[in-house]
Structure 1
Amino acid sequence: MYLKRPAGGLAFCLFYLASCFTNKYVLSVLKFTYPTLFQGWQTLVGGLLLHVSWKLGWVEINLCSRSEILSWLPASVLFVGIIYAGSRALSRLPIPVFLTVHNAAEVITCGFQKFVQKEQTSHLKVCSVLFLLVATVCLPLCDTQFDPNGYLWALIHLICVGAYKVFHKLWKPSSLSDLDQQYINYVFSVVLLASASHPAGDLFSALDFPFLYFYRFHSSCCASGLLGFFLMLHTVKLKSSTTSGQYAAWSFLAKVITASLSPFFFVMTANVLTISCLVISGVGEALLVYTERTGT
């Protein structure tokens, strides 16, 4: 498949890989499993850097209409659900497994388009979505490292991602750009996660974290915040400079690279059935990319 804008696309893949690996390292290797603090820190860094970039004139953000900001808040709630549940799931599941469940969010968006909006859906797209669904349903049954809590959080993450995409399709902004939406997401997330850190018990539990004063924990947290911000910028830039099909192809490539390299850095036990589920999911997403490219 021919991919346009190789420099921007490869940079996107690099930041996707680095961000995913850094988050996995903090969550699984260092075992910093306090999502209100970790995700609150990431969104704080992202929000501050985006605000500074805006004030320096490097990016353009327009938040003129209060009504449009308020109308976007339901999406911001879903965004918090995505990053919170995703953090919980990634701390317990191998990266390829997490990405396989994450991909199944397309089942929700496709189902909404077909059964609610009554849109015409090609047989190839239905087939691709079925591949994603079958892989996600069968994976827990085959997983030798089965973790019920991990899969539960991954399911919540999947639902939030699907609902976020559906809301984005239904909501037709007149002035809010992708950066405007992300800025609102950052501000809302920081406020909500900071408020929830004490009731959730993360605020004081983190004081007993064994690596709290170690440089590798500090450097990893700093890297996660910076990488998340740059990944967001490159995602917005790639979306605006390519077609939806081209962006889908680059996103698919980034996931394949990340999933393929992760077993060399993080522990993962797999059997033939598990690998088969991962391959089926990959085939399903590849078909989805093809339908997006061809418009079928």
Structure 2
Amino acid sequence: MADDKKTDEKMEQSSRYESSHSAPSRSASSSALSSNPIFPVLAYCGSSIMMTVMNKYVLSGLDFNLNFFLLLVQSVVCIVAIQSCKTAGIITYRDFSSDEAKKWFPITLLLIGMIFTGSKALQFLSIPVYTIFKNLTIILIAYGEVLWFGGSVTGLTLFSFGLMVVSSIIAAWADIQHALQGGVEANSKVSTLNAGYIWMLVNCLCTAFYVLGMRKRIKLTNFKDFDTMFYNNLLSIPVLIVATLFVEDWSSENLARNFPVASRSNIMIAMILSGLSSVFISYTSAWCVRTTSSTTYSMVGALNKLPIALSGLIFFDAPVTLGSVSAIAVGFVSGIVYTIAKFKQNSKPKTGILPTTNTPVSASSQSMRDSLRS
């Protein structure tokens, strides 16, 4: 009996030893998993692709014209998601303040303009062309920083800008050439592309003004990522409700065109996922910067344009031609050159700056990051 008792005590001690060591082991493995840079990079790329593809799926219908309603659903989903995360203690952000809301409201209007014009451009253009032309926003932001924040533009940065312009020209040329081969529908397709290019130009301007204005306001309010997301989405809801009710057509016939019975549930699911993806992008952006570096994050943003553009070729009927593939390749290279230029510019004193010299205060890579998060 004594021997049996000793054996039981040994087994109990061994069990306690294993449990006390297995818990730290599981905790360590969980910590290693969260700090592994591969996972945040893949999560950031996946959320970016999901948002673009979901928006394109909703907007790809020929008769879809409830763009303000789409933005409203996305804003409501985003507020519900981040408020739920705050209640669960996963994230934190400041409580609502009417004084801060008044100061931030002009930034929200710019955001609505940026997203609305982007949705209209995405409605008329393919994902690869949309992604390529979006690079032109970086040029506007860079020179806006020169004027507003005392930024600077180096020779290598100018070279990357030149590549961005060339890739956009190639993309537009390839798109128009493909449209002209459409026979009797050629004129209609070219008109659609022209409308898309106009919306894309307005979107680039709205995006540049939004990013620059937001950065200027953030300096005054000291907003963090989720503070910005909270106020942007909350303040946009009443504006979007008014816009969709008084501007858009809510007749039963138009609703039937926008939400066909065969694909109604899929469209609503895509709208909800596109709203959730904005939360994922903000979280994975912070996760990526925390586990890697701002330089690595900028490089990921540049490399991420390639899978986004390719997703348009895979999931949608985007034309695969020599011109379109060349435009994607040149745009991809321009993003890499731009990231290298900013890395070199930030790692040494600013000498020999073109075309203007001011006190260096900020970097365009941060503005691009803010634009992508929005």
Sort the TM-score into its range (normalised by shorter chain): 0.7 to 0.9
Comparing 187-196 with 286-295, greater Cα deviation is found at 286-295
Deviations 1:64-111 (A, max 9, x none): 665444332222111111211111111111111001111110111111
User: 2:49 — aligned with what?
Assistant: 17
Comparing 227-236 with 192-201, greater Cα deviation is found at 227-236
Structure 1 segment 230-245 matched on structure 2, within 5 A:
230-239=280-289, 241-245=291-295
User: 1:35 — aligned with what?
Assistant: 67
Structure 1 segment 80-229 matched on structure 2, within 5 A:
80-115=112-147, 117-137=149-169, 139-143=171-175, 144-145=178-179, 146=190, 147-171=193-217, 172-204=219-251, 205-212=254-261, 214-229=264-279
User: 1:53 — aligned with what?
Assistant: 85
CA distance in 2, matches of 1:150, 1:252: 23
User: 1:288 — aligned with what?
Assistant: 338
CA distance in 2, matches of 1:115, 1:125: 16
- Checking the alignment, whether the CA contact within 8 Å between 1:37 and 1:203 is kept in structure 2 is no
CA distance in 2, matches of 1:42, 1:226: 8
Deviations 1:147-185 (A, max 9, x none): 111111111111111112222333314531111011111
Comparing 202-211 with 182-191, greater Cα deviation is found at 202-211
Mark the CA change 1:150 to 1:177 in structure 2 (over 3 Å): closer, same or farther.
Answer: same
- What is the one-letter code of the residue matched to 2:247? A
Describe the SS at the equivalent of 1:197: helix
- What is the one-letter code of the residue matched to 1:180? D
CA distance in 1, matches of 2:146, 2:222: 28
Q: CA deviation at 1:239?
A: 4.2
Mark the CA change 1:137 to 1:66 in structure 2 (over 3 Å): closer, same or farther.
Answer: farther
Q: CA deviation at 1:225?
A: 2.7
- What is the one-letter code of the residue matched to 1:209? N
- Checking the alignment, whether the CA contact within 8 Å between 1:108 and 1:162 is kept in structure 2 is yes
- What is the one-letter code of the residue matched to 1:151? Y
Based on CA coordinates, which of the two structures has the bigger radius of gyration?
A: 2
Structure 2 unmatched ranges of 5 or more = 1-35, 180-189, 347-374
CA distance in 2, matches of 1:163, 1:239: 25
Mark the CA change 1:229 to 1:30 in structure 2 (over 3 Å): closer, same or farther.
Answer: farther
Q: CA deviation at 1:127?
A: 1.2
Q: TM-score, normalised by structure 2?
A: 0.71
- Checking the alignment, whether the CA contact within 8 Å between 2:64 and 2:258 is kept in structure 1 is yes
**Do structure 1's residue 79 and structure 2's residue 111 form an aligned pair?**
yes
Mark the CA change 1:32 to 1:292 in structure 2 (over 3 Å): closer, same or farther.
Answer: same
Mark the CA change 1:260 to 1:209 in structure 2 (over 3 Å): closer, same or farther.
Answer: closer
CA distance in 2, matches of 1:263, 1:72: 38
CA distance in 1, matches of 2:341, 2:96: 37
- Checking the alignment, whether the CA contact within 8 Å between 1:89 and 1:151 is kept in structure 2 is yes
- What is the one-letter code of the residue matched to 1:155? L
- Checking the alignment, whether the CA contact within 8 Å between 1:62 and 1:175 is kept in structure 2 is no
* Cα RMSD after superposing both structures: 2.5
Deviations 1:221-266 (A, max 9, x none): 3333333332332234334554332221122222211212321221
Number of residues paired by the alignment? 293
Q: TM-score, normalised by structure 1?
A: 0.88
Richer in helix (by share): 2
Mark the CA change 1:120 to 1:262 in structure 2 (over 3 Å): closer, same or farther.
Answer: closer
